[in-house]
Amino acid sequence: MQRRQETTAPENIGLLLSLASAQGVAAANTALAPLDLNSRSYSLLELLATTDGVSQRELADALRLDPSQIVALVDGLERRTLAERRPHVSDRRQKSVVITGPGRELYAQARERIDGSIDELLAGLDDDERQTLRLLLQRVVTPGSARTAGADRLGQAS
């Protein structure tokens, strides 16, 4: 007879980050499904809601996605009139992606759903622990390594 071992959290920080990310994405996708969004399209909407227009290259860099994935995501948002491409203010060869009025409205609904899913995901953490987690994760994802406390232009949304 095989004895069942108790499940303990792994000690490997890379695995922990991966597992936490997977749980967060799954919770976000469940919360966003009624709005016909997913974690990637929501992330794109959030970045657009916090800027006055941004190039697809900047979006790809900010989300750590291949530019072709950004093109597909923006195409999907454009089809739903949630975002649009406009001429870039300083470089005519580029387009800026901007959120539309309907995009802002849907983003507000999605943000409420995401906040609820995060509350469920982090239910075991008190407010101080959540703030500490947020600050540590911001340092991890901010260009310039964990020694840099600031955030880049697109990473300042909370």
How do the domains of the chain map onto residue ranges? 32-141
CATH number for the domain whose boundaries are 32-141: 1.10.10.10
pTM of the full structure: 0.80
From 58, 83, 60, select the one nearest 70 (Cα to Cα): 60
Q: Which two tokens stand for residue 26?
A: 């799954």
Q: Give the C-alpha separation, 42 to 57, whole Å.
A: 18
Span 22-56, pLDDT tens digits: 999 999 999 999 999 999 999 999 999 999 889 99
Angle between helices 39-49 and 67-79 (to 10 degrees): 80
Q: Give the C-alpha separation, 113 to 46, whole Å.
A: 13
Question: Which parts of the chain register pLDDT below 70?
Answer: 1-7, 145-158
Alpha helices in the chain (DSSP H): 13-32, 39-49, 56-63, 67-79, 101-121, 127-141
